[in-house]
Amino acid sequence: MLVALARIARFVKVLLQSAWSRYQKLSLVGKALIWFILFFYFCLAAFIFVVTPAHIAQLMYDLAQDIRHLPYGYTILIAVTIAVSFPPFIGHTTLLNLFGFTYGLQGFFPAAFASLAGSAIVFVTLRIMFSKRLRSWTSTNEKWQALEAVIRSRGMPLIILIRISSFPPWAWSNSLFASIAPVSLFQFFIATLFILPKVMIYAFVGSRIARLSDGEQRNHMDTQTKIVNSLLVVGGVLISVLASSLVYHLMQKEIKRLHDSPSEDDELAAGTLEAAEEAPLLGSDSLSSA
């Protein structure tokens, strides 16, 4: 028991040191964004504590039902999902839960459509808007040329692995692939199809949360049904976390393999994957340089 606790303590220490190191490397804008996010979640937690989770859950459920009964209510969620597919927006995962929360398991279909359409629209839009910047970048950046060469040689397996990885986040991942010239829209779309199982899990979790959020449905549930629904929510979240962790582990393993490869292109590509913020379409000056 003590050995296990010591291992956990060492893991947490390494994790905190890594997080602090990454934080110190951020620009002033990046650090400000981190503090803004922390402040936002602090305010959100305080709001939930004051209003109480039950009242918030019921309010969210009632709002979801209002959207569900609109003639084309799902188009609202689709439009918002497409919008947050553009960087620097966030919230894609929350919206996938919301599809399930509003429409049950049937919410998977509009959620899948919104995710595929949103990523494709971002890919095409950024390719068109920043094509000159992309050509200028790749012609002068040796590391980016190496990444493109490796992706060109390894093809779809590597593209799929990067796509389903939890890092970088959804909107930034769309921009990252738009930055990589050898990746065609067709390849990007096929790779994006592999995120559909994750979309299904999020929609399922949202549907279970909806049942527990409505006071009327909750009052008609016996204790066993409430426990089962709660376990299904927890199980869905755990599956998603474990799957994301596994993919991230495979991604790190691939990066390490590139580092260990004698090829200079592989070594440079590994460094570029580890520093995704160096992508030409992810830079803070993308718009000003377009």
Q: Are the C-beta atoms of residues 147 and 272 closer than 8 Å to each other?
A: yes
Q: Are the C-beta atoms of residues 64 and 176 closer than 8 Å to each other?
A: no
Query: Could you count the other beta carbons within 10 Å of the beta carbon of residue 205?
Result: 23
Give the pLDDT confidence score for residue 135 in this predicted structure.
66
Give the pLDDT confidence score for residue 84 in this predicted structure.
92
Query: Could you count the other beta carbons within 10 Å of the beta carbon of residue 146?
Result: 21
- Both tokens of residue 59? 């309010």
Give the pLDDT confidence score for residue 276 in this predicted structure.
54
89 class by beta-carbon count within 10 Å (0-12 exposed, 13-18 middle, 19+ buried): middle
Give the pLDDT confidence score for residue 289 in this predicted structure.
41
Q: Which amino acid is at 288?
A: S
Give the pLDDT confidence score for residue 285 in this predicted structure.
45
Give the pLDDT confidence score for residue 247 in this predicted structure.
62
> Rounded distance, CA 211 to CA 158, Å?
39
pTM attached to this predicted model: 0.69
Give the pLDDT confidence score for residue 79 in this predicted structure.
95
Give the pLDDT confidence score for residue 137 in this predicted structure.
64
* Alpha-carbon dihedral sign for residues 237, 238, 242, 248: positive
Q: Dihedral (C-alpha) 275, 23, 286, 278: value to the nearest 10 degrees?
A: -10
Query: Could you count the other beta carbons within 10 Å of the beta carbon of residue 212?
Result: 19
Q: Which stretches in the chain have pLDDT values below 50?
A: 277, 284-290
